[in-house]
Amino acid sequence: MSPQKKHFRPRIATVWLAGCSGCHMSFLDLDEWLFDLAEIADVVFSPIADVKEYPENVDAVLVEGAVANEDNLELIRKVRARTKILVAFGDCAVTGNVTALRNPLGGPEVFLERAYVQEADTQPGIPRDHSVVPELLPRVLPLHQVVKVDAYLRGCPPSPAAIRDLLLSALGGEKEKE
């Protein structure tokens, strides 16, 4: 890689909202290509990196999962405000997918009751302390119903190759702008 190209190091991030983490597993399946990625970009925030606060001035982010609770909502708004290119990463982020399967059943109380009371093995009771367990939104939403989304990557999960191609084109686009 030429020194000139190394001059610009894009800051990228991955975010995990309400999803199964399968999309991140697929990302990790890029295996040794992740070393190539580290050559050309800085991963500044990710569930697999120990960073507590989503930083400012992120060039591109892959957001896995739907928006299902107050924590997701707060984070996605922060991510949007601090990122140039926001990618809806996988079917939960794009459509709501399996995460949104609760929507036809009614409001959160219906399935909280089912999960924490009816199906509870011991100590039935719905956790109400929202500092510990974030409050659920009435409906699970795909990202674009909450914030502006710049690109959509479908798949449950998207294939590693698709993730790589998308990252390369996003970073390439950013590079050209420099």
Partner 1 sequence: MDKSELQAIAGKERGARKPVCVSCCTAAGCLSAGGGDVMDSLREELSASGASQKVEVRAVGCMKLCSRGPLVRVEDTSDGRPVADGARLYEKIKPSQAPVLIRAAGEGEAAELPMVDLSHPFFTRQRPIVLENCGVVEPERIESYIEADGYLALHKVLRDMTPEEVVKTITQSGLRGRGGAGFPTGIKWSLVAKAISEKKYIVCNADEGDPGAFMDRSVLESDPHRVLEGMAIAAYAVGASEGYIYIRGEYPLAINRLQTAIRTARRLGLLGSRIFEAPFDFNVDLRIGAGAFVCGEETALMASIEGRRGNPSPRPPYPAEHGLWGHSTLINNVETFANIAPILRRGAEWFASVGTEKSKGTKVFALAGKIANTGLIEVPMGITLREIVEEIGGGDPDGQVKAVQTGGPSGGCIPARHLDTPVDYESLAELGSIMGSGGMIVMDDSNNMVDVARFFMQFCMDESCGKCLPCRAGTVQMHGLLEKIRDRRATADDLALLEELCDVVKYTSLCGLGQTAPNPVLSTLRFFRHEYEELLQKEVTLA
Partner 2 sequence: MKVTTLTINGELVSASPGATVLEAARENGIRIPTLCALEGLSTVGACRLCLVEVKGSPRLQPACVTAADEGMEVSTDTDRLRRYRSMILELLFAERNHVCPVCVANGHCELQDRARQAGMDHVRLPYQHPDLPVDITHARFGVDHNRCILCTRCIRVCDELEGAHTWDLAGRGTNARVITDLNQPWGDAVSCTSCGKCAEACPTGAIFKQGSTVGEMEHRSDRIRFISAARARKEWSP
Binding site for partner 1 (CB under 8 A): 73, 137-139, 141, 145-147
CB of 141 to partner 1, least distance (A): 7
Q: Does residue 34 touch partner 2 according to CB under 8 A?
A: no
Measured between alpha carbons, how far is 132 from 64 in angstroms, rounded to an integer? 22
Which entry of partner 1, partner 2, none binds 147, CB below 5 to 8 A by partner kind?
A: partner 1
How near is the Cβ of 145 to partner 1 at its closest, in Å?
8
68 binds partner 2 (CB under 8 A): no
Kindly give the residue spans of alpha helices, DSSP state H, lying in 7-124.
22-28, 33-40, 70-82, 91-95, 108-113
Least spacing, CB of residue 148 vs partner 1, in Å: 9
- Among 49, 105, 117, 120, interactor with partner 2 by CB under 8 A: 105
Q: Which of 78, 82, 139, 175 binds partner 2 (CB under 8 A)?
A: 139
- For residue 31, the 8-state DSSP code is T
Of 65, 86, 97, 171, the one binding partner 2 (CB under 8 A) is 97
For the bound state, the minimum distance from the C-beta of residue 61 to partner 1, rounded and expressed in Å, comes to 18
Does position 136 bind partner 2 by CB under 8 A? no
Instruction: Map tokens 């982020």 to a residue.
Output: 93
Question: The sheet that has 42-45: what strands, in order across it?
Answer: 42-45, 11-16, 58-64, 83-89, 151-153
Q: Which of 100, 137, 166, 171 binds partner 2 (CB under 8 A)?
A: 100
Q: Which of 171, 152, 160, 169 is nearest to 25 (CA)?
A: 160
Shortest distance (Å) from residue 72 CB to partner 1: 11
Residue 138 contact among partner 2, partner 1, none, beta carbon within 5 to 8 Å by kind: partner 1
Spatial separation of the C-alpha atoms in residues 32 and 108, rounded to whole Å: 42
Using CB under 8 A as the binding criterion, the count of chain residues that bind partner 2 stands at 21
Please name the amino acid found at residue 107: G
Q: What SS3 class is residue 65? A: coil
Q: What is the C-alpha to C-alpha distance for residues 54 and 62, in angstroms, rounded to an integer?
A: 13
Helix (H) or strand (E) run with residue 61 in it: strand 58-64
